[in-house]
Amino acid sequence: MLNFEIKERIPNALGRAGIIKTTHGDIETPAFIPVGTKATVKALTPEQVREYVGAQAFLANTYHLYLQPGMDIMRASGGLRKFMNWPGPTFTDSGGFQAFSLGNVSGKRKSKFGVVDETISNGGQANTYSSWTRPLVPPLRRDSGLLLGLGLLTSASEMSKRSKYSPAQEENDITNSMAKIDDAGVTFKSVIDGSTHHFSPEKSIDIQVAIGADIIFVLDECAPPDADREYQMRALERTAMWAEHSLEYWKKTKRADPNNYQSLFGIIQGGRYEDLRKLSAETIGKMDFDGFGIGGTFDKGDVSKAVNVVCQELPEGKPRHLLGIGELEDMIMAIENGIDTFDCVAPTRIARNGSAYISGGKRINILNAPFRNDFAPVDEKCSCYTCMNYSRAYIAHLFRAKEMLGATLLSIHNLHFVVDFVAKARRAIVEGDFSHFKDDFLKSLHS
């Protein structure tokens, strides 16, 4: 079971330092949680993540583990921790974001801040895929007493009148898509073999129970970054409806298994619209979750305001997790405005492309010509395993020679750098010096 203690607070701000206590260990917050998508942090062993990086916990992906190796193997292995030999706490997301985005194949992936120029491999062939399309969302059922009581839902007939699409257009969009969203959940096709699958709020929980993470998340609808207000409102409505269903099902699941140690987090949506984020936080925050995740999309440079609006509405005594934020400047703003934990694939993703964080929050690309003869560590101020033992020249050689060790060494450095950066932010909060820590970092970053 989860217990959260707040130890210190940032004066005149929402930020705090605390401890999340789980059955499998404590997490001192604020904390960065590395992403181990398929039960592995890419290019690293769990022992390296623990010992060299200093990570307290990690987050795995429900969608990918469901498809491969599958729930039967996860159960037979004794759950995620035993399967991958990880001793500490674990998180899993709901799988919804990947089901919506990877299952809806037609060109560019959407990130929290917009389009990411990436293709996804499906059976060895590059796919092109577009963002989620509004016609995929049919009118919602109006059976949620809580949501109606809050005035959140609008009538189905009103939604229909506002629709800009004809039934023929809607049918065409659904036919051409590999993912379909409705009240019951999301139906999607596997990126591995094209087979059809369905995630409902209840099934997402069943899968995460089989995986066995300490902290799990409800299924939510993460609307694309460029979605208009009407679509974001409908996604918010559906997210709240699914949250209700998930919580009801979760309570039954827990009663059926008194030894279940897992904790369930609700998710806040609302996109770039401040009033919708606030409304989502008000709605989900009143539900009896163990903690809360903040999802959706942000305007670049506006993480501080968006997070502040949400955290003001959430219960003070429960932990808050920000999903998928990897820039150091965004992290420090999120911490100041009340975030306790966050995750992102960015540190390892950019490492595999030859990029490394250095002091001041800047980056270098190890493939640039000057580093071929540079025998200094990646960052002279860093105490990670990589910087203590290897030079920029050696790592540059590994990348140019296409040796896998290059990605491993830079991944160790980047993850250690980010984990240590957040640990320093925590220490600054405890010592009452966060404002100076933030100001010094921002001056260095923009100098």
User: Residue 202: which of 264, 281, 280, 295 has the closest Cα?
Assistant: 264
User: Residue 272: which of 312, 314, 228 has the closest Cα?
Assistant: 228
Prior bond of 30 cis (ω within 30°): yes
Which single residue is written with the structure tokens 């959706």? Answer: 296
Q: How many CA atoms lie within 13 A of 216 on its CB side?
A: 32
Give long-range contacts, CB 8 A cutoff, 24+ apart: 271-274.
271/223, 271/225, 271/227, 271/232, 271/235, 271/296, 271/297, 272/225, 272/232, 272/297, 272/298, 272/299, 272/302, 272/306, 273/229, 273/232, 274/305, 274/306, 274/309
Q: How far apart are CA 269 and CA 276, in angstroms?
A: 8
**Residues 340, 343, 374, 379: which is the catalytic one?**
343
Beta strands in 206-275 (DSSP E): 215-217, 263-268
Q: How far apart are CA 443 and CA 163, in angstroms?
A: 47
Give the amino acid at 365. Answer: N
- List, in sequence order, every residue forming a beta bridge with 356; answer none if it has no partner: 364
Q: How far apart are CA 379 and CA 296, in angstroms?
A: 33
Tokens of 351: 């490492």
**93 carries an active-site annotation:** yes
**183 carries an active-site annotation:** no
**Residues 93, 290, 340, 379: which is the catalytic one?**
93
Residue 124's contacts (CB-CB under 8 Å, 6 or more residues apart) are none
Q: How far apart are CA 202 and CA 244, in angstroms?
A: 11
- b/e map of 362-371 (b: 16 or more CB within 10 Å)? eebebeeeeb
- The H helix count followed by the E strand count for the chain is 18, 20
DSSP per-residue codes, 6-39:
EEEE-TTSS-EEEEEEETTEEEEESEEEEB-TTS
Residues with catalytic function: 93, 343
